[in-house]
Structure 1
Amino acid sequence: MTIQAVIFDIGNVLIEWQPERFYDSVIGEDRRRALFSEVDLNGMNLEVDRGAPFAQSVHDLAAKHPKWDAEIKMWHDRWIEMASPQIDHSVRLMAALQAKGTPVFSLTNFGVDTYDRAAQDYPFMRQFNRDFISGHMRVIKPDPTIYQRLEEESGLRGENLIFTDDRSENIAAAQMRGWRTHLFKGPDGWAKRLVTEGVLTESEAA
């Protein structure tokens, strides 16, 4: 079957997402390890991805852990430094697909507020043909519901879709629905896959 849409995750596919790296650079690795062991920052972030308000979620968590108040609030105040830099080759692939008339969708675990904040720095985030953002949908990958809703809302399914994501559990959930998939380990591998699938030429994927 012909590919009718290409689906991109965003974090670590189009934008690097490395909170630990950020905290290591600011407070040092040892202190970061202590912070992440005592405070469930990633759990809080998943709730934001499910649609919880960003600033309130961070401040509520900080109030529960006054010892780490300043460090926790960095998750909000310096969030864009964690969500950087842009992965330029991946962004070029997105543009190349659209230039050929191939629709490109996002399917991303991203909060409502954090997505709007990131889009200020990364204009490509407003250029998808269709957006499937967990914060708006109130469900996160790899819950099968988010994949089903993409199918229902786009009218596409199975081998009409090819999806890349950096997390194996998200890829496995898409495979269960018959999607073509690519586990993202870098833009060069993704580019080669798009060439192999016949949606881009080698020069277009460069």
Structure 2
Amino acid sequence: MLDPHLLTLHTLTMKQLATAEELAGVSGQPATEVEAELEKAVADGAVMAARGKFMITPAGREQLDAAYPVVFGALRSDPAVAAAMDAFESGVNKQVLKVTTDWQTVEVGGERVANDHSDADHDAKVLDRLGRILDKLPAVLGPVEDPLVDRFVDRLGAALTRAESGETDYVSGVRVDSFHTVWFQMHEHLLRLTGREREE
């Protein structure tokens, strides 16, 4: 597990530009701890501050790149983890990308157009598919024993619950912790844990 300082830097790689409170929401750290670690990171040049938001610097990324192989060495050398990541990439990750497309667009006259969410039956089917993917996720990622992965699964469930209650932004909106946003963060976290590159 990353120490509080490195975890704060690590969380910034997933949020890009964020407040201390937003980072705490991702990592589960107390906001006061995140604020203290950000202060130290700004002082040593690992993080830049601008108008209450923070961004990791190349120096901060270098700190993480040096730490990951040490902290996650056992996980990276575990064949079960490698198999789990293969299954994740070829299975549920591709499914989420497809479902997100089907949420954002619909086929009309053989062409894809923006989904205006007037077809409740279509949207319900898409949400049901997301639910089935989420149900499979703990088993797929079971070998990746990491507390932050469990937190991501919980956040995905919270986003889906809000979407099912009619808050449509919580499927793929970029201004909220939508299913798609949290999934992207989780994917980035998994890649950094396992030392893999994002597939194009």
Please say whether Structure 1 and Structure 2 have the same fold, judged by a TM-score greater than 0.5: no
Higher helix share goes to which structure?
2
| TM-score where L is the length of structure 1 | 0.26
Q: RCO greater where, 1 or 2, for CA within 8 Å and sep 6 or more?
A: 1
| TM-score where L is the length of structure 2 | 0.27
